[in-house]
Structure 1
Amino acid sequence: MVMFNPDDENEFWNSQQDWNIVSWKLHGSSGVHTLVTETGLVIHMLVEKKYPLRKKVMVQMLKLKLESEEDSTMALELIRFIKKLLAELEPEE
């Protein structure tokens, strides 16, 4: 249910402060991207869904760079989407 109905009030999403992301992969054929944390937690997310990710997690994702099975527009779109979400969190100057 967490994957299909992301809710920022859910205990799972509220535990993000403890996540240390060590891997970010895109599985283009299934439209899923995966985060792996230092503790071994594996988080599968649908590319087409918006998840309540915190700024810290998104920054970690971009620093790691997205691993993809192949070059694809889906990978570029996912990176652009994460960057857009981060920009929306930044205070306007």
Structure 2
Amino acid sequence: MARLCKEALEWRKKLEAEYNLGDAEAQLLMASMTRTFDQLRRAERQVETDGMTQIDRFGKIIAHPLLSVIRDCRASILQYLKHLGLEAEPPRPAPGRPPKWS
């Protein structure tokens, strides 16, 4: 298995320091999420190098194949965070729409 990028390892350490994630299930989820985060960053770097589109063998412009990897990694990370109870948006105090901005 390839080594994880420094950013992925630092992100994992930061999450572990901020939240109590000591049980075995949380550690397994964190390990999987860290690998997924690493894959996300690698795919993003490759798309940055290659560009958002490529030309297929018929000369047609197509989306970079790694764009679907990026989308899937982002969705997976959100699911991992949800399973760990670390959802990005804090729960609202009441049901319904949030209050208007002042």
Same fold (TM over 0.5): no
**Which structure shows the higher helix fraction?**
2
Greater relative contact order, per chain length (Cα 8 Å cut-off, separation 6+):
1
**Which structure shows the higher strand fraction?**
1
Normalising by structure 1, what TM-score?
0.30
Report which of the two structures shows the higher radius of gyration computed on alpha carbons.
Answer: 2
